[in-house]
């Protein structure tokens, strides 16, 4: 059990990963990877690496809808305990700017799904 918490805190010891997780913590719903990229205003590869690390640590789960990858917080006792803890150490005001960008980005959804892609996309579908 202690090893598992050490692994979790190791993963969260990175600023980008903690910021990515804070989006899920305060948004409390699934997000498309490109929505997270636009909300955080970070390069796509950085967000992708963070999402991968959080998924590998079993903090996030993912699903695909066509070309879109959606990520959600895992709903386990472990993550509930972590969320409770993180609400005290990462208050909403810490990521207000990112959450405001996220709300703007989520307004672009159609039927509750992402249809836009990342803002810095060059226009090609490859």
pTM above 0.75, yes or no: yes
Tokens of 83: 């969320």
Alpha helices (H) along the chain = 2-11, 15-27, 33-40, 44-56, 77-89, 96-106
Tokens of 78: 């472990």
Q: Please, what are the domains in the chain?
A: 2-106 (1.10.10.10)
What is the C-alpha separation between 32 and 72, in angstroms, rounded?
A: 9
What is the C-alpha separation between 70 and 93, in angstroms, rounded?
A: 25
Tokens of 14: 């990175």
Cβ pair 18, 47 in contact under 8 A: no
How does pLDDT run along the chain (126 residues), one tens digit per residue?
789 889 999 999 999 999 999 999 888 889 999 999 999 999 999 999 999 999 999 999 999 988 889 999 998 888 888 888 888 888 889 889 999 999 999 999 998 888 887 765 444 443
């Amino acid at each position: 059990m202690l090893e598992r918490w050490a692994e979790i805190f190791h993963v969260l010891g990175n600023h980008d990963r903690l910021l990515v997780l804070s989006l899920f913590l305060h948004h409390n719903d699934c997000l498309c990877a490109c929505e997270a990229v636009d909300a955080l205003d970070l390069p796509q590869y950085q967000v992708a690496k963070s999402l991968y690390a959080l998924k590998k640590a079993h903090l996030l789960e993912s699903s695909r809808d066509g070309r879109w990858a959606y990520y959600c917080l895992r709903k386990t006792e472990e993550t509930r305990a972590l969320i409770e803890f993180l609400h005290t150490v990462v208050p909403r005001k810490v990521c207000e700017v990112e959450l405001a960008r996220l709300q703007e980005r989520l307004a672009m959804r159609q039927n509750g799904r992402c249809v836009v892609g990342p803002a810095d996309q060059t226009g090609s579908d490859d």
